[in-house]
Amino acid sequence: HFNFCSGPATLPTAVLERARDEMLDYQGRGLSVMEMSHRSDTFIDIAERAEADFRQLMGVPDNYSVLFMQGGATQQFACVPLNLLGAGGSGSYLDTGIWSQKALKEGRHLATASVAASAEDNGYTAAPAPRAILPASDAAYLHYCDNETIGGLQMDRVPEADLPLVCDMSSSILSKSVDVSKFGVIYAGAQKNIGPAGITVVIVRDDLLERARADTPTMLNWKAFADEGSMLNTPATYAWYLAGLVFDWLGEQGGVAAIERLNRRKAAKLYDAIDASGFYRNPIAAANRSLTNVPFVLHDASLNATFLEESEAAGLLTLKGHRSVGGMRASIYNAMPEEGVDRLVDFMGDFERRYG
């Protein structure tokens, strides 16, 4: 079976097998990782190795902290204004779809926030032009979402601004190379390319750790997490361990540059198949098509239920689009083998021949 779920996403089979083999007795310790103290030498070693491997995969410079938090990317929507607006000012947001809007909404709930540029004018099919990006004069950061998981719109460049850039990379982290030094903050829920749900990775440039509002709850305070090695309280130990196994696996695949080449090939196969047919359609501008989330509609929506039934029966799972968009969506993160995309493309061609 191939699972095209947008998140929690499929994990590499090799990772699941290793976790299974180690589940009851981790490397002869007589315990599962789930049962270990987070303060034990064994777990500290697991945690530190995961962070070191992640830093190496992403090329995180030394003047950045890497935090392993909980609460998902949604919690970071609150952490961003709380941790960055201690000296006043406002948050500035690019609006490229549903996830950017959720971040903006939380910014407005907790502080002052405005839209620096929006893709609304083009129906969320293309990123705002660089010259259209106009942050408010008192903005203390520019927030954007690199890849809109639902709409399938991905930024084709890092926006330029004289402000710390804050990026939601939930659905694109580790799928392509990124120059971390261009960012103030990067955050991502784990459940796409990092591991199971339960962990949220935050990369923060250290000078930005001094800007929190005084009323920031300790559990939302980046500096508090940085000071305690993310062990302010009991972390999501098992999810952290599994993330470490995924980082190992990604290293074995050749790292981010190698997986990016594979991801580009996978995505090209799928978009080419969609574009070559008169039966399927993806509305996103070529430069902004997501590498990891490919939404598409059938020309005849009355065939949706049949498409989903038959694809499921063919072992191609969770292709139903998000409830707000309809149609289909194939999420093809790092752990989706090229064979899964080949099978999907074959199925789509066959379905079109029978119903087109």
Return residues touching ligand PLP (CB under 6 A).
7, 72-74, 99, 145, 149, 168, 170-171, 189
- Cβ pair 301, 141 in contact under 8 A: no
Number of H helices, E strands in the chain: 9, 14
Strand partners, 202: 67, 187
**Is 65 or 170 the residue whose CB approaches ligand PLP more closely?**
170
Q: Which of 21-55 are b and which e, b meaning 16 or more Cβ less than 10 Å from the residue's Cβ?
A: ebeeebeeeebebeebebeeeebeebbeebbebbb
Please spell the DSSP secondary structure of 317-355, one letter per residue: E--BPPTTT-SEEEE--TTS-HHHHHHHHHHHHHHHHHH
Closest approach of ligand PLP to the CB of residue 351, in Å: 27
d(CA 183, CA 181): 5
Which residues are annotated as part of the binding site for L-glutamate? 6, 39
The residue whose two tokens read 């709930």 is 109
**Is 103 or 345 the residue whose CB approaches ligand PLP more closely?**
103
Closest approach of ligand PLP to the CB of residue 169, in Å: 8
Which SS3 state, helix, strand or coil, does residue 6 take?
coil
**Is 243 or 298 the residue whose CB approaches ligand PLP more closely?**
243
**Is 15 or 80 the residue whose CB approaches ligand PLP more closely?**
80
d(CA 20, CA 43): 18
**Is 131 or 157 the residue whose CB approaches ligand PLP more closely?**
157
Please confirm, yes or no, whether 176 is among the known catalytic residues: no
Which SS3 state, helix, strand or coil, does residue 276 take?
helix
| Helix (H) or strand (E) segment spanning residue 201 | strand 200-205
Point out the catalytic residue in the list 53, 146, 176, 192: 192
Please confirm, yes or no, whether 99 is among the known catalytic residues: yes
d(CA 272, CA 264): 12
d(CA 145, CA 115): 13
Which residues are annotated as part of the binding site for pyridoxal 5'-phosphate? 73-74, 99, 149, 168, 191, 233-234
Point out the catalytic residue in the list 95, 146, 168, 222: 168
Closest approach of ligand PLP to the CB of residue 141, in Å: 17
Cα separation values, 229 from 64, 66, 69, 214, Å = 13, 9, 10, 21
**Is 36 or 293 the residue whose CB approaches ligand PLP more closely?**
293
Residue 9 per-residue DSSP state: P
Point out the catalytic residue in the list 53, 95, 99, 240: 99
Cα separation values, 258 from 29, 57, 144, 154, 250, Å = 35, 11, 26, 20, 9
Closest approach of ligand PLP to the CB of residue 346, in Å: 28
Please confirm, yes or no, whether 192 is among the known catalytic residues: yes
Q: Looking at the annotation, which residues are catalytic?
A: 99, 168, 192
